[in-house]
Structure 1
Amino acid sequence: MTARRIVVISAGLSTPSSSRQLADRLLADSAGLLRERGVEVDAKVFELRDLAHDITNHLLMGFAPPKLEEALDAVASADGLIVVTPIFTTSYAGLFKSFIDVIDPQALTDLPVLIGATGGTPRHSLAIDYAIRPLFTYLHAIPVTTGVFAATGDWGGGGDGVRSLPDRIFRGATEFADLVERTDRSDMLSDPFALDRPMGHLLGGLAGE
């Protein structure tokens, strides 16, 4: 079986970031489960704060700079996507939504998605189901049933009194690994209209690397 490509998107703004910490935990459990089943994993992690200016320029100009284009291409060719965003004012971060806005809508079709979110209080956990999940469903992705929310208190081991954060991470990762193992998105790699070089390079006369 060929390696499964997993892309991780973290929309945390601080350093260190609890969103990145959750993303790393979700990836570790997902990749571990897949490797136990004999499935190799090729993982790429992108921090949106490093791409913030490129995302804005893309929204204004319509062209993706090379670093952003790498992230967009990775998502388009992925077998699974892990996304984690902080919750601001009861919903996902603006930077996270802006990144979703510059993805080719067709790139997410039938793509398994494991959703994670972070916030100061467990009250924000509902944002996964009323804001983030509908976004990916609208784009024809396949979000797994279990979304993983990590409040500040979860990192101390207290959890939400129902299921600990490690348990929730493992449950979401298990559902995600099941979908990724069965996913075949090889056709996403063959685009008869694909360009040999980025459009910005062609228009600007820049030499491809």
Structure 2
Amino acid sequence: MQPLNLVVVTAGLSVPSSTRLLADRLTHATSIYLTERQLVSSVEVVELREHARAIADNLVTGFPGSTLRETVTAVARADGLIVVTPVFAASYSGLFKSFFDVLEQDTLRDTPVLIAATGGTPRHSLVLEHALRPLFAYLRAVVVPTAVYAASQDWGSAGDAGSEELDLRIERAGQELAALMDANPAGAAPTDGSHRAARQQEVIPFEQQLAALKPR
């Protein structure tokens, strides 16, 4: 069986960062459900802070450097994508948006995407619906129904209401992403990038995508 490619894009700026922590927990949850479905998967994590200068250069020149080109290729070949951004000025960060600005049109078309964000206050949780979901809908990705937001207070001790709610959302979102990756025909295709063109030619009925989200 050809491995499914799970790519994780995180826009945290500090080391360590709550953004990376949330990305890791979402990756773990998704991997558990992929394993339960007996699907082999590879995981690649992209730390955007490591590519900040290359992204800026790409925006100005129109050409990516070799390292950024490899990262963009990995995202283009992904069978599933987890994206996590810190909230800046009530929206996604500039670094996060700039990375997706350098992608070619239709790079993420029909790719299952799990969106997530971190912030200091629960009041910014609507960034998921007002900013991230419209962005990836515009990019023609298939965004899983459950989005995950983690405020500072959600990183409490086990048993705290906020922590338990976060755990439940992470688990549900991971399950939904794994289900869509399983249903996505690109998962059985070659990983040389040729599956992207084939994926663009096939439209998956909404009813089929919805059925894939139901636990088996």
For the aligned pair, the TM-score class normalised by the smaller chain equals 0.7 to 0.9
Choose the corresponding residue for 1:189, options 183, 188, 193: 193
CA–CA distance in structure 2, aligned partners of residues 172 and 159 of structure 1 = 18
CA–CA distance in structure 2, aligned partners of residues 159 and 128 of structure 1 = 21
CA–CA distance in structure 1, aligned partners of residues 193 and 10 of structure 2 = 24
Q: Quote the offset at 1:105 in angstroms.
A: 2.0
CA–CA distance in structure 2, aligned partners of residues 143 and 71 of structure 1 = 21
**TM-score under structure 1 length normalisation:** 0.87
How big is each residue's C-alpha offset from its partner over 1:63-106, in whole Å with a ceiling of 9 and x where there is no partner? 11111111100011110000000011110000000000001121
> Which consecutive aligned stretches of 4+ in structure 1 deviate over 3 angstroms post-superposition?
157-161
Aligned to 1:167: 168
CA–CA distance in structure 2, aligned partners of residues 138 and 189 of structure 1 = 22
How big is each residue's C-alpha offset from its partner over 1:153-188, in whole Å with a ceiling of 9 and x where there is no partner? 111143449x62111100110111110111122378
Do 1:153 and 1:159's aligned partners in 2 also have CA atoms closer than 8 Å? Answer: no
How big is each residue's C-alpha offset from its partner over 1:33-61, in whole Å with a ceiling of 9 and x where there is no partner? 10111101111001000000000010011
**TM-score under structure 2 length normalisation:** 0.84
Do 1:8 and 1:46's aligned partners in 2 also have CA atoms closer than 8 Å? Answer: yes
Do 1:122 and 1:160's aligned partners in 2 also have CA atoms closer than 8 Å? Answer: no
> Judging changes above 3 Å, is the alpha-carbon distance between structure 1 residues 71 and 159 closer, same or farther for their aligned structure 2 residues?
farther
Aligned to 1:180: 181
What RMSD in Å do the two structures reach over aligned CA positions? Answer: 1.5
CA–CA distance in structure 1, aligned partners of residues 161 and 95 of structure 2 = 27
Do 1:2 and 1:39's aligned partners in 2 also have CA atoms closer than 8 Å? Answer: no
For the residue of structure 2 that corresponds to 1:46, the secondary structure is: strand
CA–CA distance in structure 2, aligned partners of residues 63 and 25 of structure 1 = 33
For the residue of structure 2 that corresponds to 1:114, the secondary structure is: strand
Matched, 1:139 2:139: yes
Amino acid at match of 1:183: N
CA–CA distance in structure 2, aligned partners of residues 125 and 170 of structure 1 = 18
Aligned to 2:90: 90
Amino acid at match of 1:97: K
CA–CA distance in structure 2, aligned partners of residues 155 and 11 of structure 1 = 19
Do 2:84 and 2:115's aligned partners in 1 also have CA atoms closer than 8 Å? Answer: yes
Do 1:76 and 1:108's aligned partners in 2 also have CA atoms closer than 8 Å? Answer: yes
CA–CA distance in structure 1, aligned partners of residues 10 and 40 of structure 2 = 22
CA–CA distance in structure 2, aligned partners of residues 80 and 21 of structure 1 = 19
For the residue of structure 1 that corresponds to 2:107, the secondary structure is: helix
CA–CA distance in structure 2, aligned partners of residues 84 and 112 of structure 1 = 14
Aligned to 1:156: 156
Could you tell me which runs of 5 or more consecutive residues in structure 1 were left unpaired when the two chains were aligned. Answer: 192-209
Amino acid at match of 2:105: P
Aligned to 2:30: 30
Aligned pair count? 190
Aligned pairs for 1:1-209 within 5 A: 1-157=1-157, 158-160=160-162, 164-185=165-186, 186=189, 189-190=193-194
CA–CA distance in structure 2, aligned partners of residues 110 and 74 of structure 1 = 16
- Kindly, what percent of the aligned residue pairs are identical? 49
